[in-house]
Amino acid sequence: MPDPPSPSLTTDSHTASAVQADDLTVLRGTRTVLHHLRFTVPRGQITGLLGPSGCGKSTLMRSIVGTQAKVTGTLNVLGRPAGHPTLRSRIGYVTQAPSVFDDLTVRQNLDYFAAILDPGRGAAERRRRHVAQAITDVDLTSHADALAGNLSGGQRNRVSLAVALLGAPELLVLDEPTVGLDPVLHRDLWNLFHHLAATRGVTLLVSSHVMDEAERCHRLLLMREGEILADETPDALRTSTGTETVEDAFLRLVDEAAAESRTKESTR
Ligand SMILES: Nc1ncnc2c1ncn2[C@@H]1O[C@H](COP(=O)(O)OP(=O)(O)OP(=O)(O)O)[C@@H](O)[C@H]1O
């Protein structure tokens, strides 16, 4: 079996957006946690999903990867409706909790997931290459034979990221991947994200509640209380709000939204 096609060869490569949402609404229990969202995530770029804790970032990511219930409206991912079975191998998803086996080494963890993704004796050499590449990508070569249970939290997160990279996904959805990383690892991980976008055409959707991360993204989706406050580049956002930083822009937008809802209340 040949290697999977590169993103540029896939049938829907003409679609400029990796994700396209319209009137996207999500209920958790009886509560509406995402309200009529409309946005796009462009292909081959890093889009930051930023907003305070509890604003709905994880819920939105789960909707995109197809694991969230009670989703209504339009949500297309890589040209298919979210959750479509053919999307499984095209999306890499890393949750906030690292999902690795503590009693296996880094390489054994990757071998295990590689065997599920690409089974059969005939694929053994390709699997070996993909596992080696993923370990190199996340800079864990020197720990490849260490038990995952003996790694630090940041290293275990990188094993999860390596697992997500295994199938050469077109879309990587990363839920707060830089939490708890020291400054060097933080920089290295962002360099990897840019490398994946620039050299492999990967689309990355990266969530964070730290506004500093915004400056490293090509585009931003700013969220608050289940709504999208802005869908722009960092530069356009600073210009449109007349602020110096994305954090100030976010605060400006929050104040404007609060003033708007007060006006609506008083005119009822
Ligand atoms: N099982 C549930 N039932 C009802 N509401 C829920 C459930 N799980 C989460 N929520 C609510 O949904 C909202 C969005 O949660 P979500 O985890 O998507 O936020 P988040 O922005 O990812 O937060 P964080 O940055 O802290 O991870 C929150 O207000 C949360 O309380």
Distance (Å, whole) CA 7 – CA 198: 12
Q: DSSP assignment of 192-258, as one string?
A: HHHHHHHHH--EEEEEES-GGGGGG-SEEEEEETTEEEEEE-HHHHHHHHT-SSHHHHHHHHHHHHH
**Whether residue 100 sits in one domain with residue 25:** yes
- Tell me 3's DSSP state: P
Mean pLDDT over 66-85 rounds to: 96
Distance (Å, whole) CA 128 – CA 131: 5
Ligand 1, residues at Cβ distance < 6 Å:
28-29, 31, 33, 51, 53-59, 209
Q: Considering its fold, how many domains does the chain have in total? A: 2
| Residue-range definition of the domain harbouring residue 29 | 14-54+62-223
The answer to the question of residue 180 being in a domain is yes
Place 44 in a pLDDT band, splitting at 50, 70 and 90: very high
Residue scoring higher pLDDT (182 or 71): 71
Q: What is the mean pLDDT of the chain?
A: 90
pLDDT at 104: 97
pLDDT at 232: 94
The answer to the question of residue 210 being in a domain is yes
The answer to the question of residue 1 being in a domain is no
SS3 44: coil
For residue 116, pLDDT beyond 60: yes
Place 268 in a pLDDT band, splitting at 50, 70 and 90: low
Q: Per residue in 250-260, pLDDT tens?
A: 899 888 887 88
Place 10 in a pLDDT band, splitting at 50, 70 and 90: very low
For residue 72, pLDDT beyond 50: yes
Centre of ligand 1 from the C-alpha of residue 55, in Å: 7
Centre of ligand 1 from the C-alpha of residue 56, in Å: 6
**Whether residue 263 sits in one domain with residue 156:** no
The answer to the question of residue 95 being in a domain is yes
Residue scoring higher pLDDT (5 or 245): 245
**Whether residue 174 sits in one domain with residue 50:** yes
CB atoms under 10 Å from CB of 176, counted, come to 21
Nearest CA to ligand 1 atom 7: 28
Lowest average pLDDT, out of 37-41, 165-169, 179-183, goes to 179-183
The answer to the question of residue 155 being in a domain is yes
The answer to the question of residue 2 being in a domain is no
The answer to the question of residue 207 being in a domain is yes
**Whether residue 250 sits in one domain with residue 134:** no
pLDDT at 93: 95
Place 21 in a pLDDT band, splitting at 50, 70 and 90: very high
- Report the share of the chain in percent with pLDDT over 70: 94
Task: Give ipTM to 2 decimals.
Answer: 0.95
**Whether residue 238 sits in one domain with residue 131:** no
The answer to the question of residue 35 being in a domain is yes
pLDDT at 58: 96
**Whether residue 76 sits in one domain with residue 49:** yes
Strands 91-94 and 203-208: unpaired
Mean pLDDT over 156-160 rounds to: 91
Helical residues (DSSP H) of the chain, grouped into ranges: 57-65, 106-117, 124-137, 153-165, 183-200, 234-241, 246-266
CATH code of residue 78: 3.40.50.300
Find residue 24's DSSP bridge partners: 37
**Whether residue 264 sits in one domain with residue 197:** no
For residue 11, pLDDT beyond 50: no
Centre of ligand 1 from the C-alpha of residue 189, in Å: 26
**Whether residue 101 sits in one domain with residue 38:** yes
**Whether residue 81 sits in one domain with residue 144:** yes
**Whether residue 123 sits in one domain with residue 39:** yes
**Whether residue 261 sits in one domain with residue 151:** no
**Whether residue 133 sits in one domain with residue 33:** yes
